[in-house]
Amino acid sequence: MRRFFLIAVPYAWLLALFLIPFIIVFKISLSDLALSIPPYSPTAKDGIWAMFAAFDLENFTFLASDDLYWKAYLSSLKIALISTVLAVLVGYPMAYGMARAPEEWRPTLMMLVILPFWTSFLIRVYAWVGILSNEGLLNQFLLWLGIIDTPLTIMNTTTAVYIGIVYTYLPFMILPIYAALDRLDESLIEAAEDLGCSRLKAFWLVTIPLSRNGIIAGCFLVFIPALGEFVIPSLLGGSGTLMIGKVLFEEFFNNRDWPVASAVAVILLLILIVPIVLFQRNQQRQAEVES
């Protein structure tokens, strides 16, 4: 019974906060737009059998026929993928430096990584508006140094979105990589160097493979929220940045087309679930091979 209750708690949590909301959203995605409250039909008040009989895939076929949606998916995938790669390039050296720092300095460095979470997410994004705008701190600093003659146009571009996403989700990349590097056995690197590897080659052949799980975990933690990001592209990217999170907001709150918005959300969730399932299967196969 103890084992049953131990397993039942996380499954009940997933049932209440994931599966049931997903079923509701999926049900709305099969409904039709209605100029009433709720803004879709049919509902349970029409009868269970009548409700199921009225379900169709019209909203999903509409998404396939309108290029706005698949362009938004592709743009979101590109921005999320590039942001994840940039986060790896920035976060891995920081995590490596933390893992190789003296023992007494590591808690302080960890606190500095977590420190941005003490401030509101919205305030941190708004701070980048003041930094990246034409009259912002970055342009003023570059003009003062004489590097540029006219202010750079960074706001309302995809570059600003990359900066905002990488800055916001960088701790999610650093922490799992740091955890993997902190557990790394230093004697393995020493053995590689004793066998003729240079320090750089030992880093590439030993450190990188042994920290792979941390890199993969960090990539998931950055890629998944970045794919559905709404606040950062709205504030930093402007109207020219097309991402699926902005499309979802427009459909739900401006167009009030809940069925189409729910279909968009269902497809987005499926896009996120597929790589996670494939990764888990790959991990299980590797565990079976090793055992």
Contact 215, 88 (CB under 8 A): yes
Determine, yes or no, domain membership for 250.
yes
pLDDT value of residue 291: 65
Residue (of 27, 55, 28) closest to 39 by Cα position? 28
* Distances from the Cα of 201 to the Cα of 96, 189, 190, 193, 209, angstroms: 16, 10, 12, 9, 12
Read off the pTM: 0.87
Determine, yes or no, domain membership for 108.
yes
pLDDT value of residue 290: 67
Determine, yes or no, domain membership for 266.
no
pLDDT value of residue 222: 94
Task: Give the number of domains in the chain.
Answer: 1
Determine, yes or no, domain membership for 279.
no
Q: How far is CA 31 from the centre of its chain?
A: 29
Query: Considering all CA atoms of the chain, what is the largest pairwise distance in Å, rounded to the nearest integer?
Result: 76
- Kindly give the parts of the chain with pLDDT less than 50: none
Determine, yes or no, domain membership for 222.
yes
Determine, yes or no, domain membership for 141.
yes
CATH number at residue 172: 1.10.3720.10
> Which ranges of 54-185 does DSSP label H, i.e. alpha helix?
58-65, 67-100, 106-114, 121-132, 137-145, 158-182
